[in-house]
Amino acid sequence: MQRVVTQYKTLFERAPVLMNAFDRHNRCVLWNAECEKVFGWSRAEIAAHADPLTLFYPDPDERRRVRESVHRSPLKDMYEWHPVRKDGTPLTILWSNILLPDNSILNIGLDITERKKAEQRLAVKATTDDLTGCLNRSAILHQLKMALAVNSRHDPRSHFCVLMFDLDYFKQINDGWGHQVGDAALRHFCDCIRALSPADSLLGRVGGEEFLLLLARGNGEAATRLSARLRTMLSSKPLQVGNKSLVLSFSAGVVEVCLGQRDSSALLTRADKALYDAKRTGRGKTVVASDYL
């Protein structure tokens, strides 16, 4: 390996990809400029460490998987790994770890950290409502279908509750206060829902001033309690518009999902009917579907 490194030293050093090599005694014999730039470690620092892999993979299980990959990976394969920089910053690297006949290891890699971050930002944007920051319609309905797919009457962990919220008098808010205040009202409403909802719940905007909350392991009683707390919060923390306060009100329809239901359309219809009943009887109410079906 040392002979190859010496022969092609200039090529290795100037390569615009990550290239490093370790001999069979785990000594660093190649650490090109790209490695130093991306990882922040110099070759001298790497060489001074008894087990350099611990610098990049603090987790012993991940180190074990990296070592195992060297022995099973043909030259053509590249695997995504998540080493850390000298300063602890996590990276995403595509590595090809090649075991050579003399038991030395040549590693060739591509730093795709920024590309992965960009992909994650696009994925978030594709599923997020721009105005409120909650899930958009397609994303929350997809999550509903996924939750229904694993729902079983025999597994309480799969049970959940659907709350359909509708902000009361929203047209009057838009007409009387202006659309900017209307937008602020929607954001404030969502912020309050998120503040009170369990961490594993999911909130999405299904249209206009209508929102859907998937309350994990919740039932009608839990949904009613959450609604009551939400009304208290909206009353005690009104939306501030200049030197004025705007107290928001909402109606809600609730459906318990605990019988192995699969049909999302039928479930949403029930929630919508419960919501309609809440609005029909004076708004500012929460109606559980089982209460009147």
Residues with catalytic roles: 209
Task: Name the E strands within 101-155.
Answer: 105-111
d(CA 227, CA 223): 6
> Reduced to 3 states, what is the DSSP secondary structure of residue 210?
strand
- Residues ≥6 apart with Cβ < 8 Å to 175: none
Alpha-carbon 112 to chain mean position: 19
Which stretches does DSSP call E strand in 149-272? 160-167, 202-207, 210-216, 239-241, 244-246, 250-257
To the nearest 10°, report the CA torsion of 273, 277, 279, 280.
130
Question: For tokens 């999550």, what's the residue?
Answer: 143
Task: Report whether 258 contacts 219 (CB < 8 A).
Answer: yes
- Are the beta carbons of 267 and 257 closer than 8 angstroms? yes
At residue 19, what are phi and psi to the nearest 5 degrees? -140, 125
CA gap 97, 64 in Å, rounded: 14
* Partners of residue 93 on adjacent β-strands: 81, 111
Give one word for 204, left, alpha or beta, with left for phi > 0 and alpha for psi -120 to 50.
beta
Element (H, E) at 188: helix 179-196
- Tell me, rounded to whole angstroms, the distance of Cα 68 from its chain centroid: 29
